[in-house]
Structure 1
Amino acid sequence: MEPSTHTPLSFFDRYAYAIKAFIIIVMTIMLLIPANMIQGIIWERRDRQQEATKEVSSRWGEEQHITGPVLAIPYTLAGQHNAGEFQSYVYLLPENLKINGELLPEKLKRGIFDVAVYTARLQLSGTFTKTALEKLDIPFSALKLNEAMVLVGISDLRGIDNQVQLMWNGKPYFFNPGIVNKDLFSSGIQTPVAIDMTAAGGTAGSFTLDLGVKGSGHIRFSPIGQTTVANIRSTWPDPSFDDAFPPKTRQVSDKGFVATWQIQHLSRNYPQSWTGNKYDIQSADFGIRLFMPAQSYQQSMRAVKYALLIIGLTFFILYFIELSQRRTLHPLQYALVGLALCIFYTLLISISEQLNFIMAYIISSVLTIGLIVLYIAAAYKNARIAISIGSVLVLLYGFIYVVISAEDQALLMGSLGLFIILALVMYFSSRIKWDKLGQKDVTPVNQ
Structure 2
Amino acid sequence: METVVQNVWTKTKVLVKALIIGGIVLILQIPTFYVTDLIKEREQRQKEAIVEVSSKWAGRQNIAGPVLVIPYRENADSTKSKHFAYFLPDQLNIHSKVSPEEKYRGIYKVMLYTSGVHLDGSFNNISLEKLKITPQDMIWNEAFVHLGISDVKGLNDNVRLRWNNQVLDMSVDGWAAQALDEGLNAPLNLTGPDDLKNVQFSADLNLNGSQELLFTPLGRTTSVEMKAKWPHPSFTGDILPMQKKISRDSFEAKWKSISQKRNFPQQWKDNSFIVGQASYKGSDVTSTAAAIAGVNISNNAFGADLYDPVSGYQKTLRSVKYSFLCILLTFAAFFLIETSNKKSVHPFQYGLVGLALVLFYTLLLSFSEYIGFNFSYAIAAAATIGLIAWFIKGILSSSRLTVVLSVVLLLIYTYVFTILQLQDYALLLGSIGLFITLAVIMHFSKKIQW
Q: What TM-score range do you get, normalising by the shorter chain?
A: over 0.9
Kept in 1: contact 2:90–2:125 (CA 8 A): no
- Deviation track 1:100-121 (CA, whole Å, cap 9, x = no partner) reads 1111111111111111111111
Aligned to 1:125: 120
The aligned runs of 1:368-379 (5 Å cut-off) are 368-379=384-395
- Deviation track 1:258-279 (CA, whole Å, cap 9, x = no partner) reads 1111110111011111111112
Kept in 1: contact 2:128–2:135 (CA 8 A): no
- Change in Cα spacing, 1:244 to 1:345, as seen in structure 2 (3 Å) is same
Aligned to 1:8: 5
Q: Distance in 2 between matches of 1:387 and 1:426?
A: 21
Q: Distance in 1 between matches of 2:385 and 2:96?
A: 50
Kept in 2: contact 1:164–1:210 (CA 8 A): yes
Q: Distance in 2 between matches of 1:353 and 1:251?
A: 29
Equivalent position amino acid for 1:293 in 2: P
2:45 to 38, 48, 61: 48
- Deviation track 1:304-343 (CA, whole Å, cap 9, x = no partner) reads 1111111111111111122211111011111111111111
Counterpart of 1:432 in 2: which secondary structure?
A: coil
Q: Distance in 1 between matches of 2:3 and 2:366?
A: 58
1:161 to 151, 156, 166: 156
Q: Tell me the CA shift for residue 295 of structure 1.
A: 3.3
Equivalent position amino acid for 2:269 in 1: T
Counterpart of 2:118 in 1: which secondary structure?
A: strand
- State TM-score, norm by structure 2: 0.92
Q: Distance in 1 between matches of 2:99 and 2:339?
A: 63
Q: Distance in 2 between matches of 1:361 and 1:182?
A: 54
Kept in 2: contact 1:132–1:272 (CA 8 A): no
Aligned to 2:259: 265
1:385 to 379, 394, 401: 401
2:79 to 53, 77, 84: 84
2:24 to 1, 24, 27: 27
Identity, % of aligned positions: 37
- Change in Cα spacing, 1:16 to 1:69, as seen in structure 2 (3 Å) is same
- Change in Cα spacing, 1:250 to 1:197, as seen in structure 2 (3 Å) is farther
Aligned to 1:68: 65
The aligned runs of 1:114-193 (5 Å cut-off) are 114-193=109-188
Q: Tell me the CA shift for residue 196 of structure 1.
A: 5.6
- Deviation track 1:152-176 (CA, whole Å, cap 9, x = no partner) reads 1111111111100011112211011
Report whether the alignment pairs 1:95 with 2:90: yes
Q: Tell me the CA shift for residue 130 of structure 1.
A: 4.0
Q: Distance in 2 between matches of 1:380 and 1:13?
A: 20
Equivalent position amino acid for 1:259 in 2: A
Q: Distance in 1 between matches of 2:373 and 2:260?
A: 43
Kept in 1: contact 2:90–2:221 (CA 8 A): yes
Report whether the alignment pairs 1:203 with 2:197: yes
Range moving further from structure 2, 123-132 or 248-257:
123-132
The aligned runs of 1:300-379 (5 Å cut-off) are 300-379=316-395
Q: Tell me the CA shift for residue 204 of structure 1.
A: 4.9
Unaligned runs of 5+ in 2: 274-295
- State TM-score, norm by structure 1: 0.92
Q: Tell me the CA shift for residue 148 of structure 1.
A: 1.1
- Change in Cα spacing, 1:16 to 1:135, as seen in structure 2 (3 Å) is same
Aligned to 1:404: 420
1:275 to 269, 280, 283: 269
Equivalent position amino acid for 1:101 in 2: S
Aligned to 1:427: 443
Q: Tell me the CA shift for residue 134 of structure 1.
A: 3.6
Counterpart of 1:75 in 2: which secondary structure?
A: strand
Aligned to 1:442: none
The aligned runs of 1:221-236 (5 Å cut-off) are 221-236=215-230
- Deviation track 1:169-223 (CA, whole Å, cap 9, x = no partner) reads 12211011144235333211100114465549x7252111111111111111110
Q: Distance in 2 between matches of 1:29 and 1:380?
A: 25
Q: Tell me the CA shift for residue 386 of structure 1.
A: 0.5
Q: Distance in 1 between matches of 2:163 and 2:47?
A: 42
2:303 to 267, 277, 287: 287
Q: Tell me the CA shift for residue 14 of structure 1.
A: 4.4
Kept in 2: contact 1:64–1:154 (CA 8 A): yes
Q: Tell me the CA shift for residue 256 of structure 1.
A: 0.7
- Change in Cα spacing, 1:426 to 1:182, as seen in structure 2 (3 Å) is farther
Aligned to 1:59: 56
Q: Tell me the CA shift for residue 11 of structure 1.
A: 6.1
Counterpart of 1:177 in 2: which secondary structure?
A: coil
Q: Distance in 2 between matches of 1:417 and 1:10?
A: 36
Kept in 2: contact 1:196–1:204 (CA 8 A): no
Kept in 2: contact 1:221–1:286 (CA 8 A): yes
Range moving further from structure 2, 43-52 or 4-13:
4-13
Kept in 1: contact 2:309–2:372 (CA 8 A): no
